[in-house]
Amino acid sequence: MSMRLTILGKSPSWPDRDGACSGYLLELGGRPLLIDCGNGVFAKLRSRQDYAQIDDVIISHLHADHTLDLVPFAYALSLGPQLRDERPRLHAPPGARDAWRRLCSAWGSEKLIENAFELLEYDPDAELALGGARVRFQFVPHYVPTWAMELREQGEPSRFVFGADCGPNEGLVELARGAQLLLIEATLLVQPPPPEDDPDEAPGHLTAAEAGEIGRRAGVERLLLTHFSDQLDPDQLREQAQAAFGGGVALAAQGDQYEI
């Protein structure tokens, strides 16, 4: 059985015109799975999928552009007409419960998210079983604790890897080695210099060339760039990534679908 990936949102920390931040719908193990839920994603999800049919949501890290639309999603689950007997499972990094309580307490709804979802903080060192699907995690360098993930159907050879947000690193190369599709950020065309007050700070994002290099070293079959602004030149992004990857590279666009 193949997997199908739908791009709901691919923007960086500010949305494209008429776009959304990070959010990806993956049909895996015969069920729809939502990966990340940044600002604008819930409306895009509703255009593709009945939100009441989503049993699992998985979050790579706690930045706003990957999580903020959990708030409207939670309101829909709590107050909308499509009430469920069982809450969908929300698989989130360690510390998510406290972080979301602090966020939602700003308007007096401290437990909004955890009341709407069955909140489960995953163990990044363990494999996560989602019915017939399996998820492995890999810590990657970013500005908050962040995990890339490999997703596959149990007993099937095809592997999809989502690199989350990250700077250059060896862990993602190893996680993605030989994968059929690597969805990888390409936020930048050029790495900015480190801040003056922390000259040793490691980059937290990838250039298109660095994304291509990771894909080449991992030997992935297909490379798909995401987390870039529509204010960047797509031809430059593609050319830089292809030169480093040594083959064709695709750029994520809202609504695009990919069979894996």
Q: For the residues 72-101, what does the mean pLDDT come to?
A: 94
The pLDDT of residue 150 is: 98
Q: Would you say residue 160 has pLDDT above 90?
A: yes
Tell me the residue range of the domain where 158 lies: 4-257
Please report how the helices 234-245 and 208-218 are oriented relative to each other, as an axis angle in degrees rounded to 10. 30
Q: For the residues 154-161, what does the mean pLDDT come to?
A: 93
Structural domains of the chain, count: 1
Paired residues of 23 in beta bridges: 9
Q: Would you say residue 1 has pLDDT above 70?
A: no
Radius of gyration, alpha carbons of the chain: 18
Q: Is the model's pTM score more than 0.95?
A: yes
The pLDDT of residue 82 is: 79
Q: What percent of the chain has pLDDT over 70?
A: 100
- At 194, is the pLDDT very low, low, confident or very high (cuts 50, 70, 90)? confident
Residue-wise pLDDT for 79-92, tens only, equals: 998 778 899 999 99
Residue 143 is encoded by which pair of tokens?
């500005």
Task: Please tell me the distance from the alpha carbon of residue 187 to that of residue 10, in angstroms, as a whole number.
Answer: 10
Mean pLDDT for all residues in the chain: 96
Q: What percent of the chain has pLDDT over 90?
A: 90
Helix (H) or strand (E) holding 146: strand 146-153
Residue-wise pLDDT for 17-67, tens only, equals: 999 999 999 998 789 999 999 999 999 999 999 999 999 999 999 999 999
Q: For the residues 221-238, what does the mean pLDDT come to?
A: 98
Q: Would you say residue 224 has pLDDT above 90?
A: yes
The number of CA neighbours under 13 Å toward the Cβ of 135 is: 26
The CATH number of residue 228's host domain is 3.60.15.10
Q: For the residues 149-169, what does the mean pLDDT come to?
A: 96
Residue-wise pLDDT for 233-245, tens only, equals: 999 999 999 999 9
